Structure 1
Amino acid sequence: MKLETAKSLLLIILIGTSLILTFGMWNYRAEYEPLNDDESIDKADLGGGQKNANDVVKPNNVVFKINGEFYSYENPEDSANLFEDIQTWEMTDLQSTDTEEKTADAEVEIIFPTGVPLSLFENILNTDRTLTSNRNFYVDRFYIQLQEEDQLLKVYFVSLDGDEAVEGTIHSSANYEQLLSMFSNLSDEEYEENHLLTETARNIYIPVEEKTMQSFKYTFNTIKSADVRNIMFTRPNLVSESKSGESLMYRTDDRQLNYTGNGMSFINVAEWNKEEPADKSVFQQSLENINEHAGFTDDYRVDSYTDDSITYRLYRLQYPVINNSYMDLSTIYQKWQSDQLSEYTRSLISLDTVANTSSKKLRDSDEIISTIKQNKNIADIQDVQIGYRLTVEKDVNGEDYALLEPDWYQRVNDSWSVVPEKNTGTQNIEGGS
């Protein structure tokens, strides 16, 4: 082959290779496009709505107590509606009182999933003054008593440790009559009788009647990894990325984000002044932070609370949702150090539409109570509730869906597990924080 011919062939090959590479670059679209300005970062969000204290601090039970008997609404939606009414009632004459048990012929007990600072109720109830400035005054329930002689309602808050109590008064005769009429109709079908468990960590009420409930098959949406990355890093274009199977890890020198497709886990190990107290409570910090990136993608409510951490749990049809996977898909958890978010784990799915339903008959209350009383650690049980077990499964076409199945759950050390079958001899350790 002549030298000139060889040069021509080589030139043709180089030109062809260049055209192929150029075409490939034109048609290649990176999965993660770098962000170079703050304006683009600000637009990243998780697609949820804005929430306030009223939306995320809600009771999980309302119990009517009269002459040693206990009743609740059969439909928890009715309990939710009653609490919404109570939130509008004007409460005055707030003052500290002794912690001795106040007795009344008729009383409503409003129970929350966990203890929260009493000061939170200033944003939830219609009070005329500050409830307390003591940050250590935590309550997990309050009581409304009917005072027949004066035709008014007395409200009592007692701290978890039993050392402090605050009382208030609802002077409205209309509110008094509203509650009185409910006590007069507790035999109606909309109410159901409850058993009381007192050997547990706190008083627990369990409906007497056997229940049949629906299981649900939901389609769901998943939040994109790029959106999560852009929220958790101020300069996402400088974040390093590594991939292993279906998991992604983003990191800088002081931050790390693990994305599994259905959940995320974030840690921030930056140095900050741990001695300097936070200006805001962990509740205020977390609420503002999650609202900033529209992170309340479903009905999430406060489920556990400490001075530096908070967990919000997903609810569906007024029942708690519980997931037992490594990356909990039923909760949002945050931990704060001073004014800095140090840990953040959460579900990245949002339930969409119901694709299918089926009925499930739950175990009766006698069996549940018998099983609980067999537990040698009954004094550690904080709650017993009907909840929905959330699992992610695939249909015949290989498409993911979320299955919600009702069952009886018990809570120990802020972790939920299915109440074990009767006389199994072992306790089910399956749990979700």
Structure 2
Amino acid sequence: MNLETIKSYILVVLVGVSLLLTFALWSSQPEYPMVKTDEFVDSVNLGGKKETKKTIIEPKSVIFQNNDNYYSFTDQVDRKSFYEDMQSWVLYEFQTKSTGERPSEENQLEIIFPEALPMELAGDLFTFNSDVYLPDWNFKRLFITFNRNSSSLNIMFKSSNGEKQATAVVNNPDKFERLWNYLTTYEGLTEYLRVELAGSPIYIPKHKVVEPRRSIAVREINSNLMIDALFNNTDIVRGTQVSENEVYYTDSARGIMRVYQNRRTMVFQNPIKSPYEQMNSNELIERSIANINENNGWTDEFNLMGINMTSNTISYQMYYEGLPVFSNTNSSIIQQQFRGSELNQYSRPLFTLNNLLGGDDSMELRSGSDVVIYLENSSRYKMENVNDIKVGYHLSYRGSDDAVTLEPAWFIHYNGNWQQLNFEVITQQKGGS
């Protein structure tokens, strides 16, 4: 074998060894997730849906008044259906006035929203026959009265300060007849009680309330999805088990996210303090809905609950079959706070309601009359600190199971916070039916 042949063999061997080493290096290279530079990642999907101002803002009460008698829907799902139909009514002859007096008609409807809304939102919530100039004041209540001569309906938006109003007309005999039928037959309605609170009346069921207790399976929302949605670079996010039920995530730059495993919730906070500029309520609603829509974050039915303009904070409450859902751990609330264009705080549940598990039974709650008598005579509560009263569901977890129980109960908005009404025995008191 000559020298050239030996050199050729050596060269072949060296090339083969080089290829083997390269393959081995590629095979052992660790896999790193791609760095995500978008503020919110389009591919993150929490499994919910998108909403609009028209679908997320609903009235808390629809009240039919006949003289001094008050009624509302027996099934709160019917309230939702009625309002959705009302949004399709065509409003004509829109005009504003400098008086804000309530209608004096014996037969009328009063529709109450959970929060004062800017009149410019009326263009998103309702259907006008043409472009109209909407004033810059807020409304929380609107009224519907009847014009029996023309079978038309009069719509009146009342300003929150009671000084102004806007009116319109619905020329639809079918809608007129439907509402008039409610007020003459009371079919599908139940009697309500008017309660004066701090000058603004509310309405609650007058008699005993019967609602089912629900056992519902839940689907967990993986907290990694929220990490992908809220952090710019997930490669540098690190998690620390703070306690048995709390995990703390941070990228040491943009944000801090706490996941509470026992109550299936998360709280995100952006430590970067952007300049604070108070937003108007319409802008805040638009930005918040768009933000949650980016990740299909409406994982159950949620409705606008409250707006705090001082801190640019907005909250949405979970609903189930027309009733609000409350919990002791804020597990039924989505809340966001903005500073400038930045999402500063964000808290939400990390579960979604799934299938009914069965075995539910009905519960009978005290009458609204009894609730008022109790509050007026209670040593625990002061009536002047009560801002609202309603029937809803109390959400609790069934141990470590992927299931929750929704139990009907009375709730009050007391000193600025919602809480379940706990009854204590009051002697020598009797009322309601």
Same fold at TM > 0.5: yes
Cα distance in 1 for residues equivalent to 2:411 and 2:217? 24
Matched-pair contact (CA < 8 Å) for 1:367–1:422: no
Partner of 1:140: helix, strand, or coil? strand
Cα distance in 2 for residues equivalent to 1:278 and 1:155? 25
Identity between Structure 1 and Structure 2 (%): 21
Matches within 5 A, 1:288-327: 288-307=290-309, 308-325=312-329
Matches within 5 A, 1:310-349: 310-325=314-329, 328-349=330-351
Question: Structure 1's 288 and 365: CA in aligned 2 closer, same or farther, altered over 3 A?
Answer: same
Matched-pair contact (CA < 8 Å) for 1:119–1:130: no
Cα distance in 2 for residues equivalent to 1:332 and 1:276? 20
1:282 matched to 2:281 = no
Instruction: String of CA shifts for 1:74-97, please: whole Å, max 9, x gaps.
Output: 111222221122111111222211
Cα distance in 1 for residues equivalent to 2:35 and 2:209? 56
1:6 aligned partner: none
Cα distance in 2 for residues equivalent to 1:118 and 1:382? 23
Amino acid across the alignment from 2:253: D
Question: Structure 1's 268 and 164: CA in aligned 2 closer, same or farther, altered over 3 A?
Answer: farther
Partner of 2:131: helix, strand, or coil? coil
1:35 matched to 2:40 = no
Matched-pair contact (CA < 8 Å) for 2:36–2:234: no
- Equivalent of residue 369 in structure 1, options 368, 372, 377: 372
Matched-pair contact (CA < 8 Å) for 1:302–1:312: yes
Partner of 1:42: helix, strand, or coil? coil
Matched-pair contact (CA < 8 Å) for 2:207–2:368: yes
Matched-pair contact (CA < 8 Å) for 1:201–1:378: no
Shift of 1:241: 2.5
Question: Structure 1's 422 and 260: CA in aligned 2 closer, same or farther, altered over 3 A?
Answer: closer
Shift of 1:271: 3.7
Matched-pair contact (CA < 8 Å) for 1:200–1:378: no
Partner of 1:406: helix, strand, or coil? strand
Partner of 2:398: helix, strand, or coil? strand
Instruction: String of CA shifts for 1:236-279, please: whole Å, max 9, x gaps.
Output: 11223322233221222242111123111111132433358689
Amino acid across the alignment from 2:48: G
1:96 matched to 2:96 = yes
Partner of 2:185: helix, strand, or coil? coil
1:382 matched to 2:387 = yes
Partner of 2:248: helix, strand, or coil? strand
Question: Structure 1's 184 and 258: CA in aligned 2 closer, same or farther, altered over 3 A?
Answer: same
- Equivalent of residue 235 in structure 1, options 227, 233, 236: 233
Instruction: String of CA shifts for 1:305-338, please: whole Å, max 9, x gaps.
Output: 133111000000100000112xx11000001122
Cα distance in 2 for residues equivalent to 1:276 and 1:157? 26
Shift of 1:380: 3.2
Matched-pair contact (CA < 8 Å) for 2:118–2:281: no
Instruction: String of CA shifts for 1:371-408, please: whole Å, max 9, x gaps.
Output: 122356323322211100001122xxx52421110001
Matched-pair contact (CA < 8 Å) for 1:322–1:330: yes
Question: Structure 1's 162 and 280: CA in aligned 2 closer, same or farther, altered over 3 A?
Answer: closer
**More displaced, 265-274 or 336-345?**
265-274
Segments of structure 1 that go 5 or more residues without pairing to the other structure are 1-21, 426-433
Partner of 1:371: helix, strand, or coil? helix
**More displaced, 304-313 or 147-156?**
147-156
Question: Structure 1's 133 and 292: CA in aligned 2 closer, same or farther, altered over 3 A?
Answer: farther
Shift of 1:131: 5.7
Matches within 5 A, 1:124-143: 124-127=125-128, 128-130=130-132, 132-134=134-136, 137-143=137-143
Partner of 2:200: helix, strand, or coil? coil
Shift of 1:106: 1.1
Shift of 1:215: 0.6
Amino acid across the alignment from 2:417: S
Matched-pair contact (CA < 8 Å) for 1:201–1:379: no
2:110 aligned partner: 109
Shift of 1:413: 4.4
Give the TM-score, by structure 2 length: 0.83
Question: Structure 1's 62 and 231: CA in aligned 2 closer, same or farther, altered over 3 A?
Answer: same
Q: Which has the larger radius of gyration?
A: 2
Cα distance in 2 for residues equivalent to 1:424 and 1:321? 28
Instruction: String of CA shifts for 1:149-179, please: whole Å, max 9, x gaps.
Output: 4432111111222233211121223322222
**More displaced, 152-161 or 292-301?**
152-161
Question: Structure 1's 205 and 354: CA in aligned 2 closer, same or farther, altered over 3 A?
Answer: same
1:198 aligned partner: 196
Instruction: String of CA shifts for 1:263-305, please: whole Å, max 9, x gaps.
Output: 1111113243335868971100000000001110000110111
Cα distance in 1 for residues equivalent to 2:36 and 2:43? 11
Partner of 1:184: helix, strand, or coil? helix
Cα distance in 2 for residues equivalent to 1:88 and 1:163? 28
Instruction: String of CA shifts for 1:203-255, please: whole Å, max 9, x gaps.
Output: 11122231222111111111112111110111111223322233221222242
Cα distance in 2 for residues equivalent to 1:103 and 1:279? 31
Cα distance in 1 for residues equivalent to 2:277 and 2:411? 39
Amino acid across the alignment from 2:308: T
Cα distance in 2 for residues equivalent to 1:369 and 1:268? 43
2:205 aligned partner: 207
Give the TM-score, by structure 1 length: 0.83
Question: Structure 1's 117 and 170: CA in aligned 2 closer, same or farther, altered over 3 A?
Answer: same
1:165 aligned partner: 165
Cα distance in 2 for residues equivalent to 1:277 and 1:333? 16
Question: Structure 1's 278 and 306: CA in aligned 2 closer, same or farther, altered over 3 A?
Answer: closer
Matched-pair contact (CA < 8 Å) for 1:249–1:258: yes
Matched-pair contact (CA < 8 Å) for 1:372–1:419: no
2:18 aligned partner: none
1:430 aligned partner: none
Cα distance in 1 for residues equivalent to 2:215 and 2:401? 12
